[in-house]
Structure 1
Amino acid sequence: MTQQTVVIADYDYGDVDIERAIIEGAGLRLAAADCKTEDDVIEAAHDADAIIAQYATVGARAIDALTRCKVIARYGTGVDIVDVDAATRRGILVTNVPSDWCENEVADHAMALLLAAARKVCEYDRATRAGTWRWQTGEPVHRLRGRTAGLLGFGAIARAIAVRAHAFGMLVIAHDPYLTPEDVAVHGATAVSFGELLEQADYLVIQAPLTEETRHLIGEPELRRMKPTSILVNTARGPIVEDKALYAALTGGWIVGAGLDDLEEEPAKQRDWVPVNPLFSLDNVIITPHAAYYSAEAIHTVREFAAHEVTRVLTGKPPLSPVNAAELAIVHR
C-alpha cells in the first residue's frame, strides 16, 4: 500500500519538527514546502493525501488540481485562505483550530494596541529617545475610564477583549449580525447596529472573520462616521480595512489613531514583500506583523492540533474541529 503523504504548504516556524513527530509517528510521510501562490500549492501538493496551510491560498484552482487529497487543515482558526465550497464539492474535509488556542493572546494584543495608541506610548518613546523629556509631547491623552469600546464581531476573542475593557472601566458595545441582543448582553456588552458602533465607539476594535461581506467593510464612508477622537484597532484580518481610506482618515483628522496587526496587502502571503505602504510613514498608527496570536505556548498548540487533525483523518478517525463536515454529509450522501 502506498504511504500517504501530508504536505505542509507553508510555515514560518523555522522547522516542522513538531509536525514530523506526530505525522511520521502515525506512519505517514511528511513533505514541507514554501508556497506563496496557488501554482506553488499545485506543484507541491497535487498528489498529496493531506495539506496543512498557514498563509498559502488553497483556492478552487488548486483544489481542482488535487488528485488524492482527503483533508486540508489550517494552522489557525480563520479559513479565508481555503475555498471551502470547492473543497466540499470535491469531497475534501477542511479543518481548523478552535479559537481558544490564541484567545488570550489576541485579546491581550488588542488591548496592548489600544492602550499604546490611547496613551501615546510610541510618541512618548520616540520623543524621549530624541532628547525631549516632556509629557506634553503626547497631548492630548484622554482618560480610559468611561470611554466606549466598540467591538465589531463578538465571538470568543471579542468577548475576552470585552472583559479586559471592563477592567479599565470602559463601556462596551458590540455589533455582530449573527447574535441576538440577549446573546451580547449575557457577556456584558450592549448590542448596537453597525452605524451606531461606528458613531459611538471611542475605540473601535475589529475582531470579525474575513469573508466576502467583511472585505473592505471599513472604508471611507465608515471612517468618516467615526468620532474625530476615535482610535481604530484591527486584530482580525487586514483586508477588512481599506488601507487607502485609513491613510486618508489618519492624515485628514477623521480619526486620531490606529493600531493594526495586519495590513490589507497581508505581507506574510507575499514573496519578497517590500514595506512601501504609506501607512508606515505615519506616527499615529502602530503596526505589528500579524503577531497578535503569538506566544510560544500558542504556536506549539496550533502546530500540534493541525498535525493531529490530518493524522486523524488519514487514519480513519473523525477530526476534532471540522469546518465543512455537515456540508459534506449533505453533498455526498
Structure 2
Amino acid sequence: MTHRIVVSDAKAEESDLEIHREVLSRVDAEVVASELRTEEEVREAATDATALIVDTRTPVTAAVLEENDGLQVVGRAGIGVDNVAIDAAKEAGVTVVNAPTYCLDEVATHALSLLLACLRSLPSYDREVRKGGWDWRAGEPAVRLREATLGLAGFGRIPRRLATMVQGFGCELLVHDPYIPDGEIATYNAESVEFDALLERSDLLSVHLPLTDDTEGTFDREAFERMPDHAILANTARGGVIDEADLANALEAGEIEAAGLDVLCEEPPEESPLLERDDVLFSPHAGWYSESAREDLAREVAGDVARVLAGEEPRNPVTDDW
C-alpha cells in the first residue's frame, strides 16, 4: 500500500521535503506539498491522505479528523498543537505527534535577543544613526542588566533553556508556572512566584505560555497596569496570549517601556495596532529557525509519522495532558 502524505508547512523548502521523502520511503510513501490555510482546503486534501504534516497555520479541525477514515497520523511540524483538535483526534483513532525539542536553543536565544535588543535600545540607536544623529540619549532610560529581574511566564523546555543561558548574567530570576513544583524551579536558581508578583517585579518578562482557552489574553490591560513602567516584554510563544490592543495602549500610556514580538495574533499581521510603533521590535515567527533546527524538525516529524504508519510506537506522541 502506498501512503499519501500531505505536507502543509510554509517552512518546508525542497530540501526539507527531500528529507521527508527519504525518511518516509521505508513505508512506501508519496509526499505531496500543498499549503493549506482553511478548514475546507484541509478537508479536501485529507480525503485520500494517510497522514498530514502541518504547520501552526494549518487547521486540523474535528471535521477534518472525523470525515477521513483513512487518516492515521497528524505530524505537527513544530512544538505547539493548538491548531490540532486533540480530543477529536483521540476519538477518531488518529495519532498526533510533534517535535518538542527541535528548536529549544533557537527559541531561547531568540527570546533573549529580543529582550537584550530592547534593553539596550538597539532599534532606537539604529534609527538615530541612520537619520544622521549620534545621540546616546536616544536609548534613555537604560537598566543595567546585572541589576535587572528577569521573569519567565511558563517553565517548559524553552524557558528552562533560557534560565540556564542567563545564569552568568547576575539577574534575579522569577518563574510563574503553577504546574511546576517550587523545588524544581529552585534548581534553576529561580524563585517561584504568583502571576501578580511576576508582573510587579519583572524588569524583563519573557512569555512562554501555550495558547489555550485559559491563557488567551493573559497579558491584558490589568496585567500591563501591574508592570513597572520601564518593563520590557518578549513573546516567542503564541500571539493570542497577549491582547494586542491593550499592549498598544499600555505602550502609548507609558505603562511599559517596550516589547519584542516574534508571534502575533494574525500572522502575517495586517491591521495590528502595534505595527506603527517604534517601541515594538518584530520578527516573523522566526525564533525556531536555524539550519540545524530545520533538518532536525523534518527528520523528527517524518520519523514519527513513518513509525505510526509502520505500526510502531512514535517517540513524540501528543497525549491528553501534553
TM bin, normalised by shorter chain, reads over 0.9
Offset, 1:163: 2.1
The reply on whether 1:61 has 2:58 as its aligned counterpart is: no
Distance, in Å, in 2 between the alignment partners of 1:154 and 1:138 is: 31
Contact conserved, 2:53 with 2:74, CA < 8 A, in 1? Answer: yes
Question: Secondary structure of the equivalent of 2:233?
Answer: strand
TM-score scaled by structure 2?
0.95
Offset, 1:86: 0.5
Computed over aligned residues only, the root mean square deviation of the Cα atoms, in angstroms, reads 1.5
Deviations 1:203-259 (A, max 9, x none): 111012111111111111111111111011101111110111111011111101000
Counterpart for residue 271 of structure 1: none
Deviations 1:262-306 (A, max 9, x none): 111133xxxxxx633221101111010011111010011001111
Contact conserved, 1:224 with 1:249, CA < 8 A, in 2? Answer: yes
Offset, 1:139: 1.3
Deviations 1:120-156 (A, max 9, x none): 0010001101100111111111111121000000112
Contact conserved, 1:9 with 1:45, CA < 8 A, in 2? Answer: no
Amino acid at match of 2:6: V
Offset, 1:21: 1.8
Structure 2: any 5+ residue segments left out of the alignment? Answer: none
Question: Secondary structure of the equivalent of 1:313?
Answer: helix
Counterpart for residue 282 of structure 2: 287
Counterpart for residue 233 of structure 1: 234
Contact conserved, 1:228 with 1:256, CA < 8 A, in 2? Answer: yes
Distance, in Å, in 2 between the alignment partners of 1:164 and 1:141 is: 22
Offset, 1:98: 2.1
Counterpart for residue 13 of structure 2: 14
Distance, in Å, in 2 between the alignment partners of 1:47 and 1:197 is: 49
Deviations 1:25-71 (A, max 9, x none): 43122222110011110111122111110120101122122221111
Counterpart for residue 41 of structure 1: 42
Amino acid at match of 1:134: D
Counterpart for residue 84 of structure 2: 82
Deviations 1:65-94 (A, max 9, x none): 222111111101111110100000111111
Question: Secondary structure of the equivalent of 1:281?
Answer: coil
Counterpart for residue 202 of structure 1: 203
Offset, 1:325: 8.0
Distance, in Å, in 2 between the alignment partners of 1:240 and 1:205 is: 12
The one of 72, 76, 87 aligned to 1:70: 72
Distance, in Å, in 1 between the alignment partners of 2:270 and 2:194 is: 36
Counterpart for residue 4 of structure 1: 3
Counterpart for residue 221 of structure 1: 222
Contact conserved, 2:20 with 2:298, CA < 8 A, in 1? Answer: yes
Distance, in Å, in 1 between the alignment partners of 2:125 and 2:309 is: 54
The more displaced of 81-90 and 158-167 is 158-167
Contact conserved, 1:149 with 1:165, CA < 8 A, in 2? Answer: no
Counterpart for residue 306 of structure 2: 311
* Cα 1:128/1:12, change in 2 over 3 Å: same
Where in structure 2 are the equivalents of 1:247-262 lying within 5 Å? 247-262=248-263
Contact conserved, 2:229 with 2:254, CA < 8 A, in 1? Answer: yes
Percent of paired sites with the same residue: 39
Distance, in Å, in 1 between the alignment partners of 2:48 and 2:317 is: 22
Distance, in Å, in 1 between the alignment partners of 2:181 and 2:157 is: 15
Question: Secondary structure of the equivalent of 1:280?
Answer: coil
Distance, in Å, in 1 between the alignment partners of 2:262 and 2:124 is: 18
Distance, in Å, in 2 between the alignment partners of 1:223 and 1:109 is: 22
Counterpart for residue 95 of structure 1: 97
Aligned residues: 319
Offset, 1:324: 2.6
Contact conserved, 2:27 with 2:309, CA < 8 A, in 1? Answer: no
Contact conserved, 2:26 with 2:306, CA < 8 A, in 1? Answer: no
Structure 1: any 5+ residue segments left out of the alignment? Answer: 268-273, 328-333
Where in structure 2 are the equivalents of 1:157-168 lying within 5 Å? 157-168=158-169
Contact conserved, 1:48 with 1:67, CA < 8 A, in 2? Answer: no
Counterpart for residue 151 of structure 1: 152
